[in-house]
Chains A and B, each alone.
Chain A
């Protein structure tokens, strides 16, 4: 059954879209990630224009983050103060990101920048996650882990504008979460992702937040940042396809249910290694496409 997408201006099989939503939803439920970093490359792969893929995926992530944050809110796992500081940076970053996106699109370099951002960030995060996962799996078998110190003082703690975050048990400079929020905001707008896969490690390793509040707080700020991206992409570039977004999220919601159930049967470290392998696979595919000689050196830019 074909459906014509009004903004993407193409005809796609409904079941392909539902299946993609379901598959990515399953993986996101399994690993507890947003799935934007899988869905955006997939959409581009089936022929959706990159600009529409990024704008529409931001719209879909709003929905999946809302359902995620409501669950975490119920358990009190959201640090709202930290979330607000992060999203302040995220708002500025994502606004700049949308402007940068329009500029690069005009230059004809947006596809390259999207691919390179994916290769660099997925490659780095995937490698770190993989080595960490393997190390913990080994350590679990050999010796009992020694307890980590609650805080390690570094130059980060010398920065001005200190704020107290009660829920995270932190007293740190607001500049840190502001700049992390800013960076993830820029990436969110350009890569069409929520940015959880960068935000979560940054919160744990750079800010030192307790793991229990990390996911909920990250999801909380992702709602606002992706809503900002959705609005700006719709307003400035007309690249948000609501029909596509609704079809994808229908599949994603159902897939995530099954994914979460399957995830409960697996060990945390095994999950992390599996997720790392998947991230590295996406990264390798995109990197390979940049390196091989294209079939046609000439390509059509934006026609409008």
Chain B
């Protein structure tokens, strides 16, 4: 923890001098780490974001996971049993979404600005693959998708705080839960003055399996036949060992 603070201080000073030298840059920010490794003991991770702004303003930080299509199902009752009876595909859905801001979002900017920059879960633009649903039905599917992602902890339930240290330095923590999907994330930092975005910056953040986890996962997908045979061989060996142990006892 101490080392983190020292690193934060050193980098902050660097950021400050950097921003002082080039006046055009009104916003500078960086992450404490650009790679989050999923190892055997992985149980979620926190990434520190820090930066500096020129002059007064509000800061909003949005973290988005890689986009992917998503299939949703809706249940209805058939003969007393709940069955998936309808499904809908969303074209591109961020696999992770987190947001942090220096003040409550609605105080920072009007709804139109929040919507344009997709600030806040309710402003996410989620496109249905086919425009066959009427607007209110589409909204129900959308809300269902948001609820599911929020339940699994992949979409933020609330807006985290961006804290200012003095007038210019700010920091926030990006919390990634244990079930984060892998891929390249985009961390977007916005500076808003009087409800308008005056500066923005995007920093990539890579989340990937490393070490033993990556070896097993990659092997299972690259050589599925050999992986299957190894799984069987391991089970046969374990069963045989268990038999030996049983006999001795």
Verify if A28 is at the interface (C-beta below 8 Å from B).
no
The residue in chain B whose Cβ has the minimal distance to the Cβ of A300 is B148
The reply to whether B71 and A231 form a contact with Cβ atoms under 8 Å apart is no
Which listed residue, A71, A235, A291, touches B228 by the CB 8 Å rule?
A235
Contact with A along B201-230 (1 / 0, CB 8 A): 000000001001110110011001101111
| Interface footprint category on B | 35 or more
The residue in chain B whose Cβ has the minimal distance to the Cβ of A249 is B238
Verify if A152 is at the interface (C-beta below 8 Å from B).
no
The reply to whether A11 and B240 form a contact with Cβ atoms under 8 Å apart is no
Verify if A188 is at the interface (C-beta below 8 Å from B).
no
Given contacts A6-B216, A67-B246, A245-B235, contact A298 B74 (CB under 8 A): yes
For the residues of B in contact with A, the DSSP-based class is helix
Contact stretch, chosen from B11-19, B36-44, B188-196: B36-44
Verify if A99 is at the interface (C-beta below 8 Å from B).
no
The reply to whether A10 and B178 form a contact with Cβ atoms under 8 Å apart is yes
Chain A positions 33-92 with a Cβ under 8 Å from a chain B Cβ: 59-60, 62-67, 70-71
The reply to whether A303 and B224 form a contact with Cβ atoms under 8 Å apart is no
Shortest CB-to-CB span from A36 to chain B, Å, is 13
The reply to whether A67 and B243 form a contact with Cβ atoms under 8 Å apart is yes
Residue from A6, A233, A238 having most chain B Cβ neighbours under 10 A: A6
The reply to whether A243 and B216 form a contact with Cβ atoms under 8 Å apart is yes
Chain B positions 31-78 with a Cβ under 8 Å from a chain A Cβ: 38-44, 68-76
Verify if A299 is at the interface (C-beta below 8 Å from B).
yes
**Chain B residues within an 8 Å CB radius of A249:** 235, 238, 242
The reply to whether B231 and A3 form a contact with Cβ atoms under 8 Å apart is no
**Chain A residues within an 8 Å CB radius of B147:** 296, 298
The reply to whether A67 and B82 form a contact with Cβ atoms under 8 Å apart is no
Which listed residue, A63, A236, A246, touches B236 by the CB 8 Å rule?
A63
Verify if A268 is at the interface (C-beta below 8 Å from B).
no
The reply to whether B220 and A240 form a contact with Cβ atoms under 8 Å apart is yes
**Chain A residues within an 8 Å CB radius of B38:** 4
The reply to whether A11 and B179 form a contact with Cβ atoms under 8 Å apart is yes
**Chain A residues within an 8 Å CB radius of B152:** 300
5 further A-B pairs in the complex, CB-CB below 8 A; given A3-B41, A62-B235, A245-B234: A7-B216, A71-B243, A235-B228, A242-B216, A303-B71
A-B contact pairs, 7 of them (CB 8 A): A6-B214, A65-B239, A230-B228, A235-B224, A240-B231, A242-B231, A300-B152
